[in-house]
Chain A
């Protein structure tokens, strides 16, 4: 996984203008995706993970706007591109798969027409060639009888099949990076397993990088190389998937993992309180009020990133070097 990153997101900040002032949805988010790698962006609803995805595609619309940071794709600053050039990047370089397979497809066109349109817009194929290419794509995403299905309308397909069509659309122009926003959330678990298997397979076959946005830690564990955990607009911890699951260093990551059903019949380890509303974040660490390890310093300023392991970082004062002269964290070992 060495080499230059395919995409680096540097201190990306996206705000939404509301009646009561600007609300920061994505707050100085930074991460890299290397060629062939799958990065999972994990978090609960409202944490800013979908807005991060839309920001990368430059698809944030008013009242939202990107107010800071850089998006470097193969070293090119996407933020500086004219919209016409950005349109060529979308689909051809970076493609997106949306959560709702019901609404992301146009109900009045056949899936073949929609695939052909994407190919034509990007100058990949037209006419009969586009139809043949559409059939090939449907075959690649394991849709049975692609020759018949190419003339189907979205409503004639099941949810899982529609999601396969969306994956085919994303693959149409051979992008290097796919951003998948909760691609399996609306699906049943057996269908989800099939879609995840397909994504893994496509990734290997086309040498794709994948940014997978999910709220399901189980899904992230099964498919990601690295995981970034978001809370209240910030990435609070990031690292290799094994480190995140075996040696989580941020109290929020630990609490999320601990709250998952484990030993039958036992009480779950719940996280007190609820996610703060965007725009009403506490001072200091946003997780502070719900954190069992909080101490005085947590309520002062938001913690910066601390290196907590090989390629692992966490925004938590528990990992602040003791040499800074501030009162240290409460003494207890890692759980």
Chain B
């Protein structure tokens, strides 16, 4: 059974509006459905503004969806009371993109990682301290640096602190929102390896939101491609990268720079007119769906 099931998710934002002007509505997430199996890494890719981050936040109800359903272990998360939702967040956590903006600069690394344990009343002080030190070791940080503030850590180390915080409550599901895109190339690989190791070690399920397609191909077992708020193609990563079907997926994949001076690939430019708003997802091969 799927661990996370998203069906017909819609999020609309009202924008603008004033004394004399009517507000307009923007549909950031437009009827999105997918299911993530336990233990898998499900990739959500697309370009800026396609709705991938909003989708991730809607699943955790950090942004309230307009309509649709999000089921976690079969239960509808959107029907939860605020209290029940808070309890459910022990199971579902998020790691943010920006390791500079997502850690409170006035707190020490210990306080940052310990905070979720305090909020969720997990353990006494001594047990919490032990847990925090254990988490620090788990993500490859030196527990001797627990009393440091975020600015005393490098970008990669900061992202490890964010990861330790997300893991503090022993979640089974993590939304990873561009977890390495703010990091230098030489540090990205360290954090990607850590994420893959932790997944095996702790049997974690990941929703991996990213725009770097090379990375997505590397870490995800299945991938969904978002365009203008909709999933236009979804399926096993290998199948999508080998035989993309939707015109947008083709354009996107053809634009990825290849680190090989002899690789000359014809760039496919998307003709927006080729994308029909009336199309619906159809299964074109086992588990591989595309809007046609």
Contact = CB atoms under 8 A, between A and B. Distances in A.
Interface string A240-282: 0110010000000001110111111111111110110000000
A189 B184 contact: no
A265 B218 contact: yes
Contact of A271 (B155, B186, B217, B261): B186
Nearest to B157: A274
B252 interface: yes
A320 B241 CA distance: 43
B258 A221 contact: yes
B193 A267 contact: yes
Contact of B237 (A188, A197, A264, A274): A264
Contacts of B157: 274
A25 to B, nearest CB: 17
A274 B218 contact: no
B229 interface: no
A221 B214 contact: no
Interface string A25-50: 00000000000000000001100000
A261 B218 contact: yes
B63 interface: no
B107 interface: no
A222 interface: yes
A197 B187 CA distance: 29
B255 A189 contact: yes
B198 interface: no
A162 interface: no
Contact of B261 (A221, A260, A272): A221
Most B Cβ at <10 Å: residue of A194, A222, A261: A261
Interface in B222-242: 237-238
Contacts of A259: 185-186, 188-189
A220 to B, nearest CB: 8
B271 interface: no
A270 B190 contact: yes
Contacts of A263: 218
A221 B256 CA distance: 12
Contacts of A190: 47, 251-252, 255, 269-270
Given A268-B218, A269-B189, A271-B186, A260 B259 contact: yes
A170 to B, nearest CB: 21
B48 interface: yes
A263 to B, nearest CB: 8
Contact of A261 (B211, B215, B251): B215
B156 A274 contact: yes
B211 A275 contact: no
B77 interface: no
B267 interface: yes
A222 B263 CA distance: 8
A199 to B, nearest CB: 13
Interface stretch (A80-88, A92-100, A211-219): A211-219
A260 B214 contact: yes
Interface in B145-193: 154-157, 184-190, 192-193
Contacts of B251: 190
Most A Cβ at <10 Å: residue of B156, B215, B255, B259: B259
A242 B156 CA distance: 31
Contacts of A283: none
A197 B257 contact: no
B269 A256 contact: no
B252 A245 contact: no
A219 B257 contact: yes
A242 B262 contact: yes
Contacts of A189: 47, 211, 213, 252, 255-257
B25 interface: no
A253 B43 CA distance: 29
B79 interface: no
A193 interface: yes
A260 B180 CA distance: 13
B118 interface: no
Contacts of A264: 217-219, 237-238
A192 interface: yes
B254 interface: yes
Contacts of B252: 189-190
Nearest to B48: A188
A269 B254 CA distance: 25
A196 B257 CA distance: 10
Which A-B residue pairs are the 7 nearest by beta carbons? A218-B257, A261-B218, A193-B255, A270-B189, A268-B189, A188-B47, A259-B189
Given A242-B261, A242-B262, A270-B186, 18 more contacts: A44-B186, A191-B47, A192-B255, A215-B184, A221-B259, A221-B260, A222-B261, A255-B186, A259-B185, A260-B185, A260-B214, A261-B215, A264-B218, A264-B237, A265-B218, A266-B218, A267-B196, A271-B186
Interface of A: 44-45, 188-194, 196-197, 215-222, 224, 241-242, 245, 255-257, 259-272, 274-275, 290
Interface of B: 47-48, 154-157, 184-190, 192-193, 196-197, 211, 213-215, 217-219, 237-238, 251-252, 254-263, 267, 269-270
14 contacts: A188-B47, A188-B48, A189-B255, A190-B270, A191-B47, A218-B256, A218-B259, A221-B261, A259-B185, A260-B259, A274-B154, A274-B156, A274-B184, A274-B186
